[in-house]
């Protein structure tokens, strides 16, 4: 049966777009809703223009009460009955209650070769470390930030003279290849590791 995918984002949503554009034809999943904590996120406008349902849950009124924020997220989500959540640049930490409720059904893309560089500023940290290879990872979401079983990784060379922005742009191109490829497999029940080289 076709899987229903909710995509969470906070920004431009280029990964969300790559996922949505891939979910056609024989793909085992379809988008059911795009969710953001940021009302004017570019990804929300794009999804609306494509006729995809959207929900905005601003986190600010829930300051200091992640459980209440997540209760609102869950109640909005319920109407769409998603099978899978894809985090795609969703910049809120989720509590263990939420990640446990979605264990094995929620995935994330992170711009580093995990377990290296969890958290922010991954490109600058890779450059600072003198890495010659960098990349991105799609993983199942668990309570620990940027942790959880790894489903796929794409490796990207670090070139002499690269700035963090250069590297971020090169990694993003691979994110747009990796995330749709992993979602296709994941939605079909395949959790084996996918490795891409650019
Ligand atoms: C991507 O680099 C993703 O890996 C990270 O946040 C960024 C989101 O970009 N988690 P976009 O909104 O998908 O363009």
Output the DSSP codes for 143-163. SSTT-S-EEEEEEEEPPTT--
Q: Which domain holds residue 50?
A: 1-102
Could you read off the pLDDT of 149-183 as tens digits, one per residue? Answer: 999 999 999 999 999 999 999 999 999 999 999 99
Residues lower than pLDDT 70 in the chain = none
Residues 158 and 192 in one domain: yes
**CATH number of the domain encompassing residue 63:** 3.40.50.170
**Boundary-marking domain end, from 54, 70, 102:** 102
Task: Indicate if ligand 1 lies below 6 Å from the C-beta of 111.
Answer: yes
Q: Which of 27, 59, 110, 121 is catalytic?
A: 110
Give the total number of structural domains in the chain.
2
Helix axes 164-187, 14-22, angle to 10 degrees: 30
Q: Are residues 19 and 116 in the same domain?
A: no
pLDDT exceeding 70 applies to what percent of the chain?
Answer: 100
Nearest CA to ligand 1 atom 3: 89
Are 25 and 74 members of one domain?
A: yes
DSSP SS3 for 140: strand
What's the pLDDT score for residue 198? 81
Which residues are CB-contacts of 138 (< 8 A; sequence separation ≥ 6)?
Answer: 107, 108, 109, 110, 150, 151, 152, 153, 178, 179, 182, 183
What is the model's pLDDT at position 190? Answer: 98
Is 110 one of the catalytic residues?
A: yes
Adjacency order of strands within the sheet including 54-56: 54-56, 29-36, 3-9, 84-87, 106-110, 133-140, 150-157, 194-197
Tokens of 52: 């995809």
Cβ of 94 below 6 Å from ligand 1: no
For 45-54, write each residue's pLDDT tens digit: 999 999 999 9
Q: Which two tokens stand for residue 74?
A: 């869950």
């Amino acid at each position: 049966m076709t899987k229903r995918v909710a995509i969470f984002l906070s920004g431009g949503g280029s990964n969300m777009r790559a996922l949505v554009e891939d979910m056609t034809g024989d793909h085992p999943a379809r988008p059911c809703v795009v969710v953001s904590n940021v009302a004017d996120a570019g990804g929300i406008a794009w999804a609306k223009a494509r006729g995809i349902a959207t929900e905005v849950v601003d986190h600010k009124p829930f300051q200091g009460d992640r459980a209440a924020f997540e209760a609102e997220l869950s109640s909005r989500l319920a109407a769409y009955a998603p099978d899978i959540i894809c985090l795609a640049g969703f910049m809120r930490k989720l509590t263990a209650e939420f990640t446990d409720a979605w264990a094995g059904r929620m995935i994330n893309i992170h711009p580093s070769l995990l377990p290296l560089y969890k958290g922010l500023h991954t490109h600058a940290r890779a450059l600072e470390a003198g890495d010659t290879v960098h990349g991105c990872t799609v993983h199942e979401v668990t309570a620990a930030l940027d942790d959880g079983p790894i489903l796929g990784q794409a490796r990207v060379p670090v070139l002499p003279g690269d700035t963090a922005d250069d590297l971020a742009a090169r990694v993003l191109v691979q994110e747009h290849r990796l995330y749709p490829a992993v979602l296709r497999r994941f939605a079909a029940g395949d959790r084996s590791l996918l490795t891409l080289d650019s």
